[in-house]
Homo-oligomer: A and B are copies of this chain.
């Protein structure tokens, strides 16, 4: 477990450090998966085979560690968004929603954690922009109700990812049917018009607050 340092001082440290970082993140993902935010840093350190000090060197705070865990997930979600823009006209939105949800399901990180991370804001913005485009395209092609707005889709994400998390260990596929049901409901042919969306004024705070509650 103790990695012997190289005999020649000073130039392979980077490698060790990198390996350690990877181990820490892997352990953190694992432990978070099992315990939620109630895990202890020491537990992570033990599983990673390093001392707590090593973790604190890179992540001065438990919160920072969580952010680091979330980071690659952000990136991947962003990647999905970008690729959705290349989907055949009108299919992008649905494809995006399904892909992101499946990704969540596969990696088991709470959406709140995911989006509350420091630095998530920028990613969020780019994703939002992509979604706006996807939404408009879907409306144009006639696969989405005209009265649906960006906000509706975000809220949908929230509910779906919460569901994914809540049932991951006991009914890991239950979200699929629910998603089918809801997506189908979003198609045109509705019998009742929607009320006006919540005014956008506070929207940022809504998003932020929702995400920060986890910590």
A182 to B162, CA, bound (A): 16
Give the complex CA separation of A202 and B52 in angstroms: 39
Q: Is A128 an interface residue (CB 8 A)?
A: no
**Is A40 at the interface (CB under 8 A from chain B)?**
no
| A178 with B190: CB separation less than 8 A | no
Docked-complex contact B148 and A181, CB < 8 angstroms: yes
Q: How many residues of A contact B (CB 8 A)?
A: 47
Whether the pair A209, B169 counts as a contact (CB closer than 8 A) is yes
Determine whether A8 belongs to the interface, using a CB cutoff of 8 Å to chain B.
no
- Known A159-B160, A192-B184: A152·B167 in contact at CB below 8 Å: no
Contacts of A156 in B (CB 8 A): 178
Residue of B nearest to A174 (CB): B198
Specify which of B158, B167, B189, B192 is in contact with A206 (CB 8 Å cutoff): B167
Decide yes or no: A192 and B180 within 8 Å by CB, A167-B206, A170-B209 being known contacts.
Answer: yes
Which residues of A, 179-213, contact B by the 8 Å Cβ criterion? 180-182, 184-187, 189-192, 194-198, 202-203, 205-206, 209-210, 213
8 further A-B pairs in the complex, CB-CB below 8 A; given A170-B205, A180-B192: A152-B181, A155-B174, A158-B163, A159-B163, A167-B210, A174-B206, A184-B185, A184-B191
